[in-house]
Structure 1
Amino acid sequence: MNAFIDFMEKHFIPVASKIGAQRHLVAIRDAFMVTMPLMILGSFGVLINNLPIPGFQEFMTNIFGGEAWKGFGGAVWNGTFGVLSVFIAFLVAYNLAHTYGKDAVATGVVSVATFFTLGAALTGMNSSGLFVALIVGILVAEIFTRLVGNPKLIVKMPDGVPPAVARAFASLFPAMITISIFGLITAILAGFGIEDMFASFYELVQEPFMGLANSYPSALLIAFITPFLWFFGLHGANMIDPFMQTINAPAIEANANAIAKGLDAPYIVNKPFIDSFVNLGGTGVTLGLVIAIYLVGRKNKQLMVVNNLAAAPGLFNINEPLLFGFPIVLNPIMFIPFILAPMITVTIAYFATSTGLVPPATAIAPWVTPPIIGGALVTGSISGGILAAINLIISVVIYIPFIIMINIQEARKANI
């Protein structure tokens, strides 16, 4: 194990660190972090309108004399998921321009204008246009930030002109050139018969990608890679978050729409699924570790000091005190359960959902929602909470033998 750790520290960690700090991935991650409250609100608006409780729809319709009561959820969706791609187009370009030290607001505005130049007003403003929004945000930032620094494209204003006006005219030609490039692309595509680029891109690229990411192997990979990166001190959740978010919002929306039509939800794997059934207490299902220490590690004073400090944050899925205080990071004994627990729990959760024992996740709960409660919220069913509780118990069972092993090692050291 020590040889393996040395190899990873020498060859893997430097590469992974560069990937984690890559400016485009960071820009995407930070953009979705800003929109997360909107997605949480929007998903609960949809969940209220389609709550899977027998008799709920009829009860609400009888009280309000029709389906006008669904207006609240619909309005909330329109202001959140309905325009999500517009926010992402702005925020990705904004964040990326900020890393280049350029005018971030102007870059974000040009990105939104470009997004609509491609025809977003037709079908691309909601999550179906998310992939195109990411591409537009990145490309616009790369093109516009280079043009805006070109002295040949700056409109020189007389002395005494307010700085805000001077900045606006400095961006005039770069903005015109950037938007015109994408306008030309739209015209060329229309010439080939592609009238709705967003719908075509969704059918050809985004939907198949979501299908691949929705499989059991992909769920297993997600459950593995996050704790694997954390074991070496890299923030695994942040590193794979851009990937998770690109499938998250469209999958949630597709699930909600399917349920509203009385159909089966098409997507099992999404971020609330991972948060509520796998990351119980944080990456590695570490709330199970906290409970395991209380059960069999109470005589180990060092462990108990750390555990007492980690217990309260762990209830809200914050586990840095355990990761670095236990420590789990670079601890050979904890490598196996730290990787094994999430892979087993994701397997149980996936097949419990695919077989219909538990409804799929159709809502987004804040990631700090306590375990079990989160499972019930994202599925709109008590069975979701029961599944989370079962996974938590299983994680405790997985961690107990390794805590006993640590206790034995500590006892041997004391007797030497």
Structure 2
Amino acid sequence: MDGFVQFMEEKFVPVASKIGAQKHLVAIRDAFMVTMPMMILGALAVMFNNIPIDAFQNFMASIFGGESWKGFGGSVWNGTFAILSVFIAFLVAYNLAKVYGKDGLAAGAVSLGSFFALGGALGMSSNGLFIAIIVALVSTELFVRLIGNKKLIINMPDGVPPAVARSFAALLPAMIVISLFGLIAAIFAAFGVTDIIGSFYALVQEPFMGLANSYPSALLIAFITPFLWFFGLHGANMIDPFLQTINAPAIEANLAAITAGKAAPYIVNKPFIDSFVNLGGTGATFGLVIAIYLVGRKHKAFSVVNNLSAAPGLFNINEPMLFGLPMVLNPIMFIPFILVPMILVSTAFWSTKLGIVPVATIMPPWVTPPILGGFLATQSFAGAILAAVNLLISVLVYIPFVKISVIQEQKREQSI
């Protein structure tokens, strides 16, 4: 194990650190972090409209007369999921331009213009996320280079307000970039492709979502995040840009299917991972907290760290445990830290696949405590039971490794 850790520290960690700090991925990650409250609100609005209780539906219909009461949820959805790609097109460009030290607002506006020039009005919802990200990245790279060209800057005389001067400085670069995307749209239209976003969704994004929805993909997601964390790298932040491009469309597709009375097509999404796998955070470390209370509380150091980690862990914040126990570069805890999420994703995936538990369609806030998150995500007590079973599994797997860790610590202390 020591040789493996040394090899990974020398060869893997530097590369992974560079990937995690890569400016384009950081811009995408930060953009989705801003939109997370809107995604949660949109999912809750659809849930409110489709609460599967006949008494509730009949009660609301009797008060408001028919289906008019659902207008509230529909309006909230229009302001969240329905324009999610628009948010992303602006925010990714804004974040990326700020990294270059350029005007983020101007870059965001240019990205929006480019997105709509390419046909964004047909793909403002999550179906257009891939295209929105691509447009944001490409348009911003072009914009920051053009705005740095002195020949394209219209200089205003002294005394002109700074906001006006900045807008004229960005005028020609903005015109060039947006026109370029308009030209691309015209070329596609000449070949009969009038809906670029819809065509891209059908040819690339939808098949990719289906691939990510498989059991092997779920196992990979469960493995990669704790694996990165073991070396001190924030695994969730590193893979979040990739996951979010499939997460939002999957949730929206599930909600649309349920609203239409059909089966939800996508099992693997963010509420699935948050509610059934990351119980207490990456590695399901709330199970570790319970395990230490059961078999490791007599060791003072373990007990102190555990007491400090318990309350944050209940709300899926596990940095005190990861760095306090620690889990990072801990060869004994490496096995359960990697193994537990893969076991939990297996039980959750097949329980959902076999119809024992409903598909996760609602995205609770990521700080929702374990078990409650399972209930909210599936709108079913079966989801809460599955989360409880997974939590119990995590405790049972962690217990022997806690015992081994305590014994090793006691031996080390006696040898000093």
Task: Tell me the equivalent position of 2:86.
Answer: 86
RMSD of aligned residue pairs (Cα, Å): 1.1
Displacement of 1:17 after TM fit?
Answer: 0.2
Output aligned runs, 1:147-162, within 5 Å.
147-162=146-161
Output aligned runs, 1:116-135, within 5 Å.
116-121=116-121, 123-135=122-134
Task: Tell me the equivalent position of 1:312.
Answer: 311
Tell me, which stretches of 5 or more residues in structure 2 are unaligned?
A: none
Output aligned runs, 1:7-406, within 5 Å.
7-53=7-53, 55-121=55-121, 123-406=122-405
Displacement of 1:65 after TM fit?
Answer: 2.4
SS in 2 for 1:228: helix
Displacement of 1:368 after TM fit?
Answer: 0.6
Q: Which moved more, 1:79-88 or 1:375-384?
A: 375-384
Displacement of 1:414 after TM fit?
Answer: 5.0
For 2:346 and 2:289, the matched residues in 1 are separated by 22
Letter paired with 2:61: T
Displacement of 1:63 after TM fit?
Answer: 3.8
Displacement of 1:312 after TM fit?
Answer: 0.4
Displacement of 1:155 after TM fit?
Answer: 1.1
| Alignment TM-score, normalising by the size of structure 1 | 0.98
- How many residue pairs get aligned? The number is 415
Q: Classify 1:356/1:58 alpha carbon distance in 2 versus 1 (closer, same or farther; 3 Å).
A: farther
Displacement of 1:194 after TM fit?
Answer: 0.5
Letter paired with 1:89: A
Displacement of 1:60 after TM fit?
Answer: 3.0
Q: Which moved more, 1:159-168 or 1:271-280?
A: 159-168
Identity level (%): 72
For 2:402 and 2:54, the matched residues in 1 are separated by 45
1:269-297 Cα distance to aligned partner (Å, 9 max, x none): 00111011000000000000000000011
C-alpha contact (below 8 Å) 1:213/1:269 kept by paired residues: yes
For 1:348 and 1:52, the matched residues in 2 are separated by 25
For 1:78 and 1:339, the matched residues in 2 are separated by 40
Displacement of 1:344 after TM fit?
Answer: 0.2
For 2:246 and 2:213, the matched residues in 1 are separated by 9
For 1:410 and 1:36, the matched residues in 2 are separated by 41
SS in 1 for 2:140: helix
SS in 1 for 2:75: helix
Displacement of 1:57 after TM fit?
Answer: 3.1
C-alpha contact (below 8 Å) 1:50/1:256 kept by paired residues: no
Letter paired with 2:88: I
For 1:303 and 1:319, the matched residues in 2 are separated by 15
Q: Classify 1:415/1:92 alpha carbon distance in 2 versus 1 (closer, same or farther; 3 Å).
A: closer
Letter paired with 1:412: K
1:219-266 Cα distance to aligned partner (Å, 9 max, x none): 000000000000000000000100111011100000000001111000
For 1:410 and 1:125, the matched residues in 2 are separated by 56
For 2:214 and 2:413, the matched residues in 1 are separated by 48
| Alignment TM-score, normalising by the size of structure 2 | 0.98
Displacement of 1:79 after TM fit?
Answer: 0.2
Displacement of 1:56 after TM fit?
Answer: 4.0
For 2:255 and 2:53, the matched residues in 1 are separated by 14
C-alpha contact (below 8 Å) 1:131/1:246 kept by paired residues: yes
Whether 1:6 aligns to 2:6 is: yes
For 2:182 and 2:315, the matched residues in 1 are separated by 47
For 2:155 and 2:406, the matched residues in 1 are separated by 73
For 1:97 and 1:18, the matched residues in 2 are separated by 19
For 1:209 and 1:293, the matched residues in 2 are separated by 40
